[in-house]
A and B are shown apart, each in its own frame.
Chain A
Amino acid sequence: MAYVALRSVRKRYSDKEILKGVSIDIQRGELISIVGPSGSGKTTLLRLIDGLDFPDSGEIFIDGIKLTMENAPKLRKKVGMVFQNPVLFDASVYDNVAFSLKFRGLPDDLIRQRVEAALNLVMLNDLAKRSALTLSGGEAQRVALARALVYDPELILLDEPTANLDPANVLIIEGALREANLQEKTVVLVTHNIFQAKRLANRVALLLEGEMVEVQETESFFNRPLDPRTRRFIDGDLVY
């Protein structure tokens, strides 16, 4: 059974249909990358899986349970989300990560252990006491990743986590994602960077103008795409 399943999901914002009947199965423990040009509906897809918004029609299942407005807060406890432009709290780096655990009522000593481990994973232990608002874009993104990983979610959703970051930060974030995936976590990575998808993903899906064009094993996706639009996207011939 798929860990995340979308069935004919449609979503419209004002007069524009963003998702036009998207269906996809995401298996437990896989790292799947959803690629596509800007405005193709990738972010909307992640928001719907995190229950921050709801489909106009169609269904989403998380671990076999149909996602509804009522059960979204409960299901979301197993999900970690990293936004493209994360908002950090006006507090120290340590507190920004610790809040996720305080929300869950964990004891202080356990919080300390887990925050240190999460900061270690994104190589930010040295900056633990710094105000999070003084960080660079890359460091801020790493804090956002640490606070989403620290509560040990089963599913991690990432929306362009390395867009506009320098190679050093990209390397650290990709390392942390590989590590999370090694621990059998399901990772959905939205990116428009096909090279990143190639480096990290077990499977790749192409979303184009709200339609799921193709989902394939990474190697097949890049070498033997089934849809001509996928080939054009990979080759950079798709004008958008």
Chain B
Amino acid sequence: MWCDSMGWIEIFLDGISEAFGLILSSDAEILGIAALSLKVSMIATLLGAAFGVPLGFLIASRSFYGRSLTIAVINTFMGIPPVVVGLAVYLLLSSSGPLGFLSILYTPQAMILAQTLLTFPVVCGLTVSSILALDQRLKETLQSLSAPKLWEAFILLRESRIGLITAVIAAFGAAISEVGAIMMVGGNILGYTRALTTAIMLYTNTGEFALAIALGIILLLLSFGVNLALTILQMRYRKKR
């Protein structure tokens, strides 16, 4: 086999040198792919947080019939395979689907929608855990000080901000690293919906390992950059006990 004759170390080293070559030469195609990946995953993470944090807070702070079941369902969806989400969104957006009239299948919007469905349960589930982990006396103290409901929510979310940042980190990780969902609803169209993960898959299938490795390194660096920023924020907020 080609791999055996060339040797995997050579392929790997070749990939690394090509990666830095591409990064340093600011290759327009690669930059476009990286920018799309970052844009889609960041927007999906923000949307997932915008819906997941309030819903997670409500689930954790109210008692209602079936709460444990609801939390179990959300926790299950935290680990949902991206291809299943991709399939569901594909069926929704296909021309015969209920949202077919939007005509957004094979567009970045469809990719954002699919990834939002992945990030939402992650943020929601981890928000529930963070709020449930708070000292229960906090709520009683707020009640005793006559805090209005919105203030109560603000303070409790503020108290669990480290957990909420963890939720955002996990959600972004799930989004930026997944390939199944965006492949199915984005279609991997060059210059339009090709993201880092879908490109890595394509180049691996076509035997362009060096390029695939280069994109893999860029993916890791981007992910590291975002996580570093979030971790610095998290460390700034850590309780000064």
- Where the two chains meet, the residues of A that have a C-beta atom closer than 8 Å to any C-beta of B are 50, 52, 73, 76-77, 79, 81, 83, 85-87, 89-91, 99-100, 102-104, 131, 133-134, 147-148, 151
- In the complex the two chains form, is B144's CB within 8 Å of A81's CB? yes
Flag whether B145 is at the interface (Cβ < 8 A): yes
Contacts beyond the supplied A76-B146, A90-B158: 19 A-B pairs with Cβ under 8 Å: A52-B140, A52-B143, A83-B137, A83-B144, A87-B135, A87-B137, A87-B141, A89-B155, A91-B158, A99-B145, A99-B147, A99-B151, A99-B155, A100-B146, A103-B146, A131-B240, A147-B145, A148-B145, A151-B146
- A173 CB to closest chain B CB (Å) equals 18
CA distance A76 to B147 in the complex (A): 11
- In the complex the two chains form, is B159's CB within 8 Å of A89's CB? yes
Q: Which residue of A lies closest to B150 (CB)?
A: A103
- In the complex, per-residue mask of B83-94: 1 if CB is within 8 Å of any chain A CB, else 0: 000000000000
- What are the residues of chain A within 8 A of B226 when measuring CB–CB? none
Pick from B146, B155, B239, B241: contact of A73, CB below 8 A.
B146
Flag whether B102 is at the interface (Cβ < 8 A): no
- What are the residues of chain B within 8 A of A77 when measuring CB–CB? 146
- In the complex the two chains form, is B240's CB within 8 Å of A103's CB? no
- What are the residues of chain A within 8 A of B137 when measuring CB–CB? 83, 85, 87
CA distance A157 to B239 in the complex (A): 29
- B57 CB to closest chain A CB (Å) equals 17
Q: Which residue of B lies closest to A104 (CB)?
A: B146
- In the complex the two chains form, is A50's CB within 8 Å of B146's CB? no
- In the complex the two chains form, is B146's CB within 8 Å of A134's CB? no
- In the complex the two chains form, is B239's CB within 8 Å of A90's CB? yes
Within 8 A of A (CB), among B138-167: 138, 140-141, 143-148, 151, 155, 158-159
Q: Given contacts A76-B146, A77-B146, A83-B137, is CB(A133)–CB(B151) below 8 Å?
A: no
- In the complex the two chains form, is A103's CB within 8 Å of B151's CB? yes
- In the complex the two chains form, is A103's CB within 8 Å of B144's CB? no
Q: Which residue of A lies closest to B160 (CB)?
A: A90
- What are the residues of chain A within 8 A of B144 when measuring CB–CB? 50, 52, 76, 79, 81, 83
CA distance A100 to B141 in the complex (A): 10
